[in-house]
């Protein structure tokens, strides 16, 4: 089986490339990487892929002129490339929707009869309070932030192109992904640094997914052909309390009644279009900390039985394990 993978120098992309090469061989892969890495870790991963001899094409997905003539035949397109930095207000976020359109449009002659796997996000749901038991695939998305809106639009673009080009698709909506090599400045970097907000006993819960488990799931979906023309919510079965991730005694208590009161004050402000973005995104994050609005229901995924579940304690140990020094 041959694959074309976008975002291969990203965190999830690199984990998938390593797992795919081990199973199918390096020559079965073509990698599409951004010409400018977002940070030093991404630059290191890109360099290692070059050194290991992978076939690489550097291209900005916001440029519609993808040189398709240099892309060799493939069986599956795994589209992972995305702008995920919710802390930034940037036009680069349109790599999610516009970039997806440009990619699928350029590859149109190659896609008939093929399969496309696309990674969506739990950020396409912003309900305060959320549905009991976590978001299901049947729940209508209601995104508030540009990241969630553009990723949801990309799902619609994917489905429309599938009709026009004659390919099958699978959308994997992801929760908070964790594991070694996590994004600098992200949630797990803040936990490691002992940021003050991690000292509060937040009442909310979130779904997690270990990065290697996601890579294995994608491999199994490609091997089995399961979940064709399907959207799946992908996460560990049980959400985890923020307090379990964050708190080391003594933690600052936050009663549930206070959490509900604070959320009731903030949510109306998030729907005001003129709210400055730094305040908007801070309020959005705070609302998630105050409830279970980042939690998935994974019943459909569990019925497939294709994804391993790394025990959370082991996953966290591996996430923060220091590399051995010489």
Any idea what the CATH number is for the domain that residue 111 is in? 3.40.50.720
Report if residue 290 sits inside a domain. no
Q: For 39-43, 77-81, 307-311, which range has the lowest pLDDT when averaged over its residues?
A: 39-43
Q: 263 in a domain, yes or no? A: no
| pLDDT confidence bin for 326, thresholds 50/70/90 | very low
pLDDT digits 0-9 by tens, 88-134: 889 999 999 999 999 999 999 999 999 999 999 999 999 999 999 99
Calculate the CA dihedral of residues 302, 138, 240, 83 and round it to 10 degrees. Answer: 100
Tell me the two tokens of residue 310. Answer: 């790394």
Q: What percent of the chain has pLDDT over 90?
A: 79
Higher pLDDT, 87 or 142: 142
Residue 322 pLDDT grade (very low, low, confident, very high; cuts 50, 70, 90):
low
Band of pLDDT at residue 87, cut at 50, 70 and 90:
confident
Closest-CA residue to 187 (of 129, 251, 123, 232): 123
pLDDT at 324 over 50: no
In-domain check, residue 166? yes
**118 is a domain residue:** yes
Considering its fold, how many domains does the chain have in total?
1
With respect to residue 48, please indicate whether it lies within any of the assigned structural domains.
yes
Q: Is residue 199 part of a domain?
A: no
149-192 pLDDT, tens digit each = 999 999 999 999 999 999 999 999 999 999 988 877 788 888 88
Domain contains 285: no
Residue 307 lies in a domain: yes
Range of the domain at 313: 3-189+207-237+295-319
Q: In what order do the strands lie in the sheet with 55-58?
A: 55-58, 29-33, 3-6, 76-79, 115-121, 168-174, 230-233
Closest CA to 78 of 23, 24, 17, 122: 17
């Amino acid at each position: 089986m041959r694959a074309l993978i976008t975002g291969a120098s990203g965190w999830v992309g690199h984990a998938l490339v390593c797992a795919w090469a081990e199973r199918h061989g390096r020559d079965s892969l073509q990698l599409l990487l951004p010409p400018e890495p977002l940070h030093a870790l991404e630059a290191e991963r890109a360099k290692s892929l070059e050194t290991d001899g992978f076939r690489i094409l550097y291209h900005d997905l916001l440029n519609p002129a993808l040189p398709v003539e240099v892309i060799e035949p493939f069986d599956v397109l795994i589209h992972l490339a995305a702008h995920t930095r919710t802390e930034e207000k940037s036009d680069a976020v349109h790599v999610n929707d516009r970039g997806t359109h440009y990619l699928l449009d350029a590859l149109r002659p190659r896609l008939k009869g093929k399969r496309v796997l696309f990674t969506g996000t739990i950020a396409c749901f912003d309900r305060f309070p959320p549905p009991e038991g976590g978001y299901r695939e049947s729940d209508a998305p209601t995104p508030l932030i540009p990241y969630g809106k553009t990723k949801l639009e990309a799902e619609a673009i994917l489905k429309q192109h599938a009709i026009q080009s004659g390919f099958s698709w699978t959308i994997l909506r992801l929760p908070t992904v964790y594991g070694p090599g996590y994004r600098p400045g992200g949630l797990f970097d803040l936990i490691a640094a002992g940021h003050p907000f991690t000292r509060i006993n937040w009442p909310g819960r979130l779904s997690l997914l270990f990065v290697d488990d996601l890579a294995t799931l994608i491999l199994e979906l490609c091997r089995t052909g399961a979940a064709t023309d399907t959207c799946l919510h992908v996460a560990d079965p049980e959400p985890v309390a923020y307090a379990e991730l964050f708190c080391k005694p003594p933690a600052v208590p936050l009663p549930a009644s206070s959490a509900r009161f604070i959320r009731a004050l903030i949510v109306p402000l998030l729907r005001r279009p003129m709210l400055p973005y730094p305040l908007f995104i801070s309020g959005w994050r705070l609302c998630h900390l105050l409830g279970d609005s980042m939690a998935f229901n994974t019943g459909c995924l569990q019925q497939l039985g294709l994804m391993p579940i790394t025990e959370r304690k082991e996953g966290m140990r591996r996430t923060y394990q220091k590399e051995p020094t010489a």
